[in-house]
Amino acid sequence: MLEGDQFVKVAKIKRPQMIDLILEQLQNAILDGQLPVGTRLPPERELASALGVSRASLREALKAAALMGWIEIRPGEGSFVAKATSEKIIQPLSYVLMFDTENIGNIMELRSILEVETAGLAACRRSEEHLSEIRETMQRMEETASRNVEEFLEYDMLFHKKVDKAAGNPVLAKTNLILRELLREANRRVARLTEGRSTAIAAHHRIFTAIETRDEKAAREAALDHLKTVAGFVLDETRARANLIASPGAEVKGLAKPLLSHTERS
Amino acid sequence: MLEGDQFVKVAKIKRPQMIDLILEQLQNAILDGQLPVGTRLPPERELASALGVSRASLREALKAAALMGWIEIRPGEGSFVAKATSEKIIQPLSYVLMFDTENIGNIMELRSILEVETAGLAACRRSEEHLSEIRETMQRMEETASRNVEEFLEYDMLFHKKVDKAAGNPVLAKTNLILRELLREANRRVARLTEGRSTAIAAHHRIFTAIETRDEKAAREAALDHLKTVAGFVLDETRARANLIASPGAEVKGLAKPLLSHTERS
DNA sequence: CCAGATTTGTGGTCAGGCCAATAAACCTGT
DNA sequence: ACAGGTTTATTGGCCTGACCACAAATCTGG
């Protein structure tokens, strides 16, 4: 690419495309308040002729707008201006991170940062209802530990989801969810080990107790220990796998440098 | 997902849409490495018939993929698998956020968590080269403070980018970048104030010094103070705008509860 | 008055066509 | 033989018109 010579700084002339213009106009209309949330857009055929474009072009724009979360298209009904939700806002993150999945160590570090703070926030903000939801999930998780690995994993995920909820920040919750999904395969390998399941249960217990007593510091410490343990499992697994694939002695990417060094703080 | 009623576990029947299926297939192909970056996709007509769909449907999918940054469409040439860049993906959403005070607070909180840890990691891991890059960016930022708001903003962004780089976690860096992009509009409003620019410069100075002396604790504190200040500016601005739009006296959503309460730790 | 059948409106998809931009193959004068 | 412009094939951008599937509104018989 290397756009441009080093002498003239001309923006490459790009003929504006209909779809983009439509998209822009739609965006402006929503931002100007001309189209409040919930407003129903005119039918495609009508809107297309009003804008002076074909229905096909308009549809490409509408589809794009829908994927970006601006509108919701309901077959047989019409298109409606949608509310921006935390899911939609943070969704693009997952698209970007998808290209980095081989870099498990870095994702792990990011996750540990966020989960630690999340646990701390949950300890501060949790309500009684939050607490009982977390407790219930934890108990179900313990029950399934010796029975079904997949079910255990689901309750593991759910536990963290409930903690996220208690932390009261939907954007944070969604981000955590994405990171956990990215690491789901790694976690699955850990959960297959009996030792992995029992240590996870113990860690969740500590986290729960800390949240119950509103002890922010303890919650953060418990979460950090948990994540360190999981990271240890995962990285051992990963390293083992990597060594099977790469030449022996080859460095596993992203794991050579100090990982989780933010451990030694506070 | 688990998000059902507790009685019936019916997933709402949704007729899968061609475009989404195509999109999914494309995504998988890219993630599986079947389509390395730079690969040229078959012509639309050919690909459409190969997939057994109409060219119109395929086009909607390709257009969406292009907007998400997965591919690049060059008229007269073809479609090519592209490296996803976060800026392009996020840009449209940042405007929407201006009117979403609830999530601005939440995103701010998420950003503060990550930037604080990033500063700490940068203090631990930075090299001399990192340091000089950060220093240079900071100096340029100071030079432009009194001249050009847009340029100032760019250097502001760049400063944080350099700190991210020093922290040595690309995934963390990308996430931070996305969050900053999301808040770009808000930051722009802050940077327009002379006071906003001067306090930002002072804060960056503190962060730089802490990183220079490898003082992790100081780096974290400096970053936290900085973010708290920015959050104060942003939320004041947003609140003002929100009150102009919403009915007077209406509570600004999401700001009533403790924000940035993780401040009082360590 | 109401339940079921029918009509109407709407998005989802398709087929085929023309135009515009690009690149590759082709001339053409030197 | 070759540098230059010119033509041609390929490809994406856009349009028209049609049909299908689904949802709501309407009609109809009891």
Q: What digits encode the pLDDT tens for the residues A143-173? A: 998 888 889 999 999 999 999 999 999 889 9
Most A-contacting residue of B35, B104, B169, B263 (CB-CB within 10 A), to test interface:
B169
End-to-end CA distance of chain A: 46
- The better pLDDT of the pair A220, A187 is held by A220
Q: How many CB atoms lie within 10 A of CB B51?
A: 17
Q: Among all residues of chain B, which has the CA nearest to that of A69?
A: B93
Nearest CA to B64 out of B98, B102, B110, B24 is that of B24
pLDDT value at A80 more than 90: yes
**pLDDT of the residue at A235:** 64
What is the nearest nucleotide to A22, using C1' and CA?
D14
Interval A14-32: pLDDT, tens: 667 888 899 888 888 877 7
Q: Out of A107-116, B64-73, B256-265, which region has the weakest mean confidence (pLDDT)?
A: B256-265
Contacts (Cβ under 8 Å, ≥6 apart) of B6: none
Q: Which of A96, A114, A120 has its CB closest to that of B178?
A: A96
Of A63, A95, A262, the CB nearest to B84: A95
Tell which of A14, A37, A101, A113 to mutate to test the B interface (max B CBs under 10 Å): A113
Tokens (6 digits) for A190: 């850990």
Q: H/E/C letters for each residue in chain B?
A: CCCCCCCCCCCCCCCCCHHHHHHHHHHHHHHCCCCCCCCECCCHHHHHHHHCCCHHHHHHHHHHHHHCCCEEEECCCEEEECCCCHHHHHHHHHHHHCCCHHHHHHHHHHHHHHHHHHHHHHHHHCCHHHHHHHHHHHHHHHHHCCCCHHHHHHHHHHHHHHHHHHHCCHHHHHHHHHHHHHCHHHHHHHHCCHHHHHHHHHHHHHHHHHHHCCCHHHHHHHHHHHHHHHHHHHHHHHHHHHHHHCCCCCCCCCCCCCCCHHHCCC
Residues of B in contact with A262 (CB under 8 A): 117, 120-121, 124
Share of chain B above pLDDT 70, in %: 75
Considering only alpha carbons, which residue of chain A is nearest residue B23? A67
Give Cα separations from A83 to A66, A95, A179, B147 (angstroms).
Answer: 11, 21, 24, 38
* Residue B40: nearest nucleotide (C-alpha to C1'): D11
Query: Is the pLDDT reported for residue B2 higher than 50?
Result: no
Contacts of A15 (CB under 8 A, 6+ apart): none
Rounded to two decimals, the pTM is 0.68
Q: Would you state the pLDDT for residue B27?
A: 83
**Worst-scoring range by mean pLDDT, A10-19, A140-149, B145-154?**
A10-19
